[in-house]
Amino acid sequence: MTEFAEIWTYLSTDPLLWLTLTLAAYGAGDALFKASGRKPMVNPVLIAVAFLAVLLQLTGTSYATYFAGAQFVHFMLGPATVALAIPLYANLNHIKKAALPMIAALVAGSLAAMLSAVGIGVALGLDADILLALIPKSATAPVALGVSEAIGGSPSLTAVFVITTGITGAVIATPLLNLLRITDWRARGFAVGVASHGIGTARAFQVNETAGAFSGVGMGLNALLTALIAPIIAQWLLG
């Protein structure tokens, strides 16, 4: 056990270890997801996050040490978001035809995401710094972190809320939309993108390509609107 502890102490300082474990955790989660018949509850991101959280806790590894290796995955968020332009272009005609309903849904969905989080937080008696970190939770991570910092929230806390929101949306969106009998893939995808950003969009692409394309549109537009409206809500909250 002493030898193992010494080996682990040595390996844990190597960034490559945490990058490898991150990719392996997602690979295992994806394998379980496929083995389950792609059931929403067996979300690969959820499985990977849970595994890594337990591992970091058991080994006493700090987040800074972990992120030194996993930051390459974080960097790829940008290119992955830009890559959404490909299915968007393929569905451009569908998007143009639904422009007005999408704008109305965007405003309603974006405001609901921010104001409901603040309202529930106030009702639970949360501190102002936590409420500020909650406001941009439904925007894609790079935007949410920047918005949180700009309005006085904690980017680290916002990151937790963003991931939790995305995983929750990816897990419950399909069963909920089926229960509501919403069959239009454009509406389904756009709703998921506005509410649960990139993780929800990844799930939408697994279900239907059109839904994924509209989810990407919803994610991008919601990020823009959140950046514009969040400072106003924060000022009102602090006032």
- How is 165-213 classified by DSSP, letter by letter? HHHHHHHHHHHHHHHTT---HHHHHHHHHHHHHHHHHHHHHHH-HHHHH
**One domain, residues 111 and 203:** yes
| CA distance to 60, 96, 110, 153, 206, per residue, from 102 (Å) | 46, 10, 12, 29, 22
Token pair for 25: 């955790």
Within a domain: 126: yes
User: CA-to-CA distance for 43 and 199, rounded, in angstroms?
Assistant: 10
Number of neighbouring beta carbons within 10 Å of residue 204: 31
Residues 169 and 232 in one domain: yes
For the entire predicted model, the pTM comes to 0.79
195 shares a domain with 98: yes
Q: Which two tokens stand for residue 105?
A: 């849904």
Tokens of 211: 């839904």
Please check whether residue 194 lies inside any domain of the structure: yes
Specify the pLDDT at position 179.
93
Same domain, 144 and 197: yes
Tell me which H or E stretch contains 73. helix 63-75
Alpha-helical segments (H) within 38-184: 44-59, 63-75, 77-82, 85-90, 92-97, 99-123, 128-134, 141-151, 155-179
Flag whether 108 is in a domain: yes
Same structural domain, 151 and 188: yes
Range of the domain at 41: 1-75
The verdict on 164 and 95 lying in the same domain is: yes
Which residue among 75, 95, 124 closes a domain? 75
> Is residue 35 located within the same domain as residue 108?
no
Same domain for 99 and 147, yes or no, is yes
The list of the chain residues with pLDDT below 50 reads: 4, 7, 10
Verify that 33 and 116 share a domain, yes or no: no
One domain, residues 114 and 12: no
Residue 203 lies in a domain: yes
Helix or strand or coil: residue 239? coil
* 80 falls within a domain: no
82 within a domain of the structure (yes/no): no
Q: Are residues 107 and 222 in the same domain?
A: yes
- Residue 176 belongs to a domain: yes
Note whether 216 and 193 are within 8 A (CB): yes
Last residue of a domain, one of 45, 75, 105: 75
User: CB neighbours (10 Å) of residue 62?
Assistant: 10
Pair (144, 225) in one structural domain: yes
**Domain count along the chain:** 2
Q: Whole-angstrom Cα distance, residue 200 to residue 209? A: 13
Output the six-digit token pair for 101: 């309903």
User: Is residue 183 situated within a structural domain?
Assistant: yes
Using the 3D structure, point to which of 10, 41, 75 is the last residue of a domain.
75
